[in-house]
Amino acid sequence: MTASLDALSVPALLARVEAIFRKGGLNAVQAGALSRVIVAGERDACKSHGIYRIEGALRTVKAGKVQADAVPELMPDDGSTILRVNAKGGFANPAFELGLPHLAERARRLGIAALVINDCTHFSALWPEVEAVAAHGLAALALCPSYATVAPTGGKEPLLGTNPLAFGWPRRDAEPYVFDFATSVAARGEIELKRRAGETLPEGWALDAAGQPTRDPEAALAGAMLTFGGHKGSAISTMIELLAGIMIGDLTSLESLRQLGSTNLSPSHGELILAFSPERFAAGREGDPFARAETLFEAIVGQGARLPSQRRFAARAVSERDGITLSSSERAQLDRLEAE
């Protein structure tokens, strides 16, 4: 079905965003992968990682902090569980696209495999990646640091990143089970969108620069964000620094911020994606893991709860049917970026 007059079809928005990135100096590999992830965010009503991110990515290119012409490289390895893609200072997304088929092949063959991405600039949501792994019939975990904007529980200074964690489980006759969240109470992008909209923050999201609780987005962005679930989120966020920063030989959020010198640009660090074959892990045990998972999902939904990503999948269906409706300021932003 065609999009209504004030909505853009998904392919039309994709073409416009890709053209903006090409004009901004990105090569085809970088521009293609970036526009796919940004438009997927807009399509699925994930505004904190949708088209508002275009300007930050372009600012990072202009500041010379990301290689706009990078071509990621799959590094030679011994065929065992760990694969490595060097993003060559480009964005994470083309590096993931390059590594995905190799990760899937390894996980199917070995039962488990890890894709390490090094030397990438990263600003995007992780759900597109765990969904892509789940499309190969594999469960997935994706995690990465960010830049230091979050205080550990009990502290007041930015040290951890908003460090996202995403999980995907493949389902035979339904969209995968996917969750994806920042380990801060909310993504930094949410705070930025609230600042732009002139809204106040809910309590418990952030401290100001003096270490006092604040509901003012501006003060929160200048201060420290808080972790979700108090000490639990703080520990999970620290684990992400360890596994997807230090363990893979890449930057922590603090090192990333020090190198970048600003939270106004997209941070550079690494990412870790793990893929698991449920069949291989459950081999020799009673029951089909996919059927057993369905029983669990039915029990969750049976209580009136919703599965994570259901809102997103519903938004996707609407966008694919009716197109993506942008606000007047978002349309103006696209027009301006095209004219620049």
Residues 176-195 contacting ligand NDP, CB under 6 A: 179-182, 186-187, 190
Shortest Cβ 146–ligand PYC spacing (Å): 4
Closest residue (Cβ) to ligand NDP?
A: 125
Q: How far apart are CA 171 and CA 223, in angstroms?
A: 41
Report the Cα–Cα distance between both ends of the chain, in Å, rounded: 32
Residue whose CB is less far from ligand NDP, 61 or 106: 61
Using the structure block, give the residue that is written with the tokens 């922590």: 252
With binding defined as CB under 6 A, does residue 290 bind ligand NDP? no
Among ligand PYC, ligand NDP, none, partner that 306 touches (CB below 5 to 8 angstroms by kind): ligand NDP
Residue 190 annotated as catalytic: yes
Residue 279 annotated as catalytic: no
Residues 135-154 contacting ligand PYC, CB under 6 A: 146
Residue 102 annotated as catalytic: no
Shortest Cβ 146–ligand NDP spacing (Å): 4
Q: Binding ligand NDP by CB under 6 A: which of 72, 164, 170, 217?
A: 164
Residues 22-51 contacting ligand PYC, CB under 6 A: 48
Among ligand NDP, ligand PYC, none, partner that 312 touches (CB below 5 to 8 angstroms by kind): ligand NDP
Q: Which residues of the chain form contacts with ligand PYC (CB under 6 A)?
A: 48, 123, 146, 162, 182, 187-189
Catalytic residues, by residue number, are: 48-49, 190
